[in-house]
Amino acid sequence: MECFLPFTQLHRSEVKTPTTPIFGHSLIMWFYLVTLVGLYYLLRWYRERQVVSHLHDKYVFITGCDSGFGNLLARQLDRRGMRVLAACLTEKGAEELKSKTSDRLETVILDVTNTDSISAATQWVKEHVGDKGLWGLVNNAGVFQAFAYIEWCRPEDCMSIFQVNLIGLAQVTLSMLFLVKKARGRIVNVSSVLGRVALFGGFYSCSKYGVEAFSDVLRREIRDFGVKVSIIEPGSFKTRMTDAELSIEKTKKTWEATPEHIRESYGQQFFDDFCNTTRRELKKCSTNLSLVTDCMEHALTSKYPRTRYSAGWDARLFFIPLSYLPTSLVDCLLAISRRKPAQAV
């Protein structure tokens, strides 16, 4: 009977095959995914290219303008025609900055660890901005004591770092916040990739984690007033804080002041290896500081600034991906890359 004929004798047209293979479905899915991602980045690119109007009428106050990022940003915004109010720690730093900028730029001496100094600077800014308010506040001032393990440091080292990097930043912000609210402006806080992943840096990393938290809370609390808060997370850049020889000198002084029983637990060979590694890595720091200041400028001038800016190839390709890995895996990778202390178990 026909129904018992072998399968091979059936007509080929009677054999049903899938009209669209599984590979085709996957290809279509990936096409839509790539298209959506491309459209997202195209839309973000378009939004971020839109610039706020009347930049030449807007005042920006920047801390830590003696050198480094703050100094370069002050000159960069001045060239763009904005009204820069630059805070320097020393008279020498202020004079050098003014010699390189236009008459629009004004300087003031500010010690972010001194409450009276902050109050005086706030009054000075208020007199300059008048009814316009302060469009931009850039908290750039910061310090780095020494590259060292936390156990090698003294309590006073901890306090001095927190006083500048976190407490001073918060006090300046709270003191000038009413002026920023009046202008519905921007607050830009300089953190670090070490505020994302605390691989080293001791109390410096701790202070930058504080900056991240302070900025997040502030952004969510004052968004209804039209104020935007951005965080800058630079990678490794060559500034006074990362000068290789100066940093190693500070590290050696910290080590020499460490109690003997702690030094014995790590061993001299461990310390020497730590110094060599630190020196080698510091010499790799980028000299292109504009990668950071361009992020700051965008946060101040774009209609749609980002919440966080990562500056530098190491920030984008190493620290940011590392921050999404499981903590146990990061700890394991770090342990493999380091020499063990003399008395390690």
Sign of CA dihedral 240, 245, 250, 254: positive
Q: Where does 41-105 show beta strands of DSSP type E? A: 59-62, 83-88
Question: Residue 72 CA to chain centroid, in angstroms?
Answer: 16
Q: What are the mean pLDDT values of the chain's consecutive 10-residue runs (345 residues total)? A: 44 50 73 81 76 91 95 96 96 94 95 96 96 96 88 86 95 97 97 90 92 97 96 91 87 92 93 91 91 96 95 90 91 86 83
pTM, to two decimals? 0.84
pLDDT in tens, 307-333: 999 998 989 899 999 999 999 998 898
What is the predicted pLDDT for the residue at 296?
A: 97
CA–CA gap between residue 233 and residue 125 (Å, rounded): 26
In DSSP notation, 269-318 reads HHHHHHHHHHHHHHTT-B--THHHHHHHHHHHHBSS--SEEEESHHIIII
- Residue keyed to tokens 């600034």: 305
Residues that are catalytic: 204
pLDDT at position 295: 96
What confidence score (pLDDT) does residue 84 get? 97
Q: Helix or strand or coil: residue 52?
A: coil
Helix (H) or strand (E) holding 189: strand 186-190
